[in-house]
Amino acid sequence: MQVTLKVFRFNPEVDKKWHYETYVIEAQLTDRVLDLLEYVKGYIDGTLSFRRSCAHGVCGSDALRVNGLNRLACKTLVRDVGDKITVDPIMGLKVIKDLIVDMDPFFDNYKKILPYFINESPIPADGRERLQSPEQRERFDDTTKCILCACCTTSCPSFWGSDDYLGPAALVTAHRFIFDSRDEAAADRLQIVAETSGLVRCHTVYNCTLACPREIQVTVAIGELKRAVMTGKVD
Give residues in contact with other proteins (CB under 8 A). Answer: 11-14, 30, 41-43, 45-47, 49-50, 52-61, 75, 77, 79, 96-97, 100, 103, 107, 111, 115-119, 123, 127-134, 136-137, 140-141, 144-145, 147-148, 176-177, 180, 182-183, 215
With residue 229 as reference, give the H or E element that holds it.
helix 218-231
Q: Least distance to other proteins from the beta carbon of 163, Å?
A: 17
Return the number of the residue (87 or 202) whose C-beta is nearest other proteins: 87
Question: 190 with 228: CB under 8 angstroms?
Answer: yes
Q: Least distance to other proteins from the beta carbon of 141, Å?
A: 8
Q: Least distance to other proteins from the beta carbon of 204, Å?
A: 26
Question: 62 with 85: CB under 8 angstroms?
Answer: no
Provide the b/e sequence for 67-83 (b: ≥16 CB within 10 Å). beebbbbbbbbbeebee
Cα–Cα dist 97/9, whole Å: 7
Return the number of the residue (12 or 157) whose C-beta is nearest other proteins: 12
Return the number of the residue (66 or 202) whose C-beta is nearest other proteins: 66
Q: Least distance to other proteins from the beta carbon of 157, Å?
A: 25
Q: Least distance to other proteins from the beta carbon of 200, Å?
A: 26
Q: Least distance to other proteins from the beta carbon of 172, Å?
A: 12
Going by C-beta distance under 8 Å and a sequence separation of 6 or more, which residues neighbour residue 232? none
First-to-last alpha carbon distance for the chain, in angstroms, is 52
Question: 11 with 97: CB under 8 angstroms?
Answer: yes
Return the number of the residue (68 or 134) whose C-beta is nearest other proteins: 134
Return the number of the residue (147 or 228) whose C-beta is nearest other proteins: 147
Return the number of the residue (117 or 206) whose C-beta is nearest other proteins: 117
Neighbours of 173 (CB within 10 A): 24
